[in-house]
Amino acid sequence: MAAPCEVLVDGVCAQEVRRLTRIVAREVWRIEQHWSRYRDDNIVHRINTAGGRPVTVDEETARFLDYAQQLHAISDGRFDLSSGVLRRVWRFDGSDRVPTAEQIAAVLPLVGWHRVRWKPPVLTMPAGMEIDFGGIGKEYAVDRALRLVVQQTKAPVLINCGGDLAVSGARADGSAWQVGVETPEPGPAPVIGLPAGAIASSGDTHRFLLKDGVRYPHVLDPRTGQAVLGGPRTISVRAASCTEAGVLATLALLHGAQAQEYLHDSAADARVWW
């Protein structure tokens, strides 16, 4: 997941916590192995190195591709699994190295779900294109792990992967879990109560470029290849599942200055920091 993960269990002994944590870890590692773009032994590697040849995918990956295709459609192309190629020219290391229009134009022909042929379970992409499940994989892992662990215990559980988290219900005393959110504001972190469901956050606190006084967040519009300027610094969304919360936070950031309007129109339970 490229981020720390944690499991909190309320009201049970340490031995039980270790048992439940092993269940969570196995599922998170399974998803990491299956869909990480950094590995050379999984379905994502097969797709990204197919060189234009069709690839038959497994059932779980097919469901995920179906979901990603729906997100691409409802977001007017803002959400795009193939946008990861833009990382070849955008490197969000806090420097001022903003790519030129020519550099972006050189990779843009390799971006765009509309160039992909998806007839389940067969995916065909033009040579050079790549997919990356990073935009929703972490949140999906949280949901999957929680689903498994609640089959093993009635104790309250919280699963957190890199700040995106879900709970099985209220704590043992009936109170909500208290979740701190990292924001650009100085002082103590704001706290959101979570009696059930999930919270996911997205922002540019750590990944950005800064040039001539303009802050370029790591959120890129796959239709133009450009960073989405003028948006919030941090968005936190509370939803029934971590996947839903993560998607809403990401899509809101992709709307830039209209993020708050998008969240309002989506009836999202969200907090926004500019």
d(CA 204, CA 253): 10
pLDDT < 50 regions, the chain: none
Q: Is the pTM of this model over 0.85?
A: yes
pLDDT in tens, 66-87: 999 999 999 999 999 999 899 9
- The three-point CA angle 65-224-79 to 5° equals 25
pLDDT in tens, 161-206: 988 999 999 999 999 999 998 888 888 889 999 999 999 998 887 7
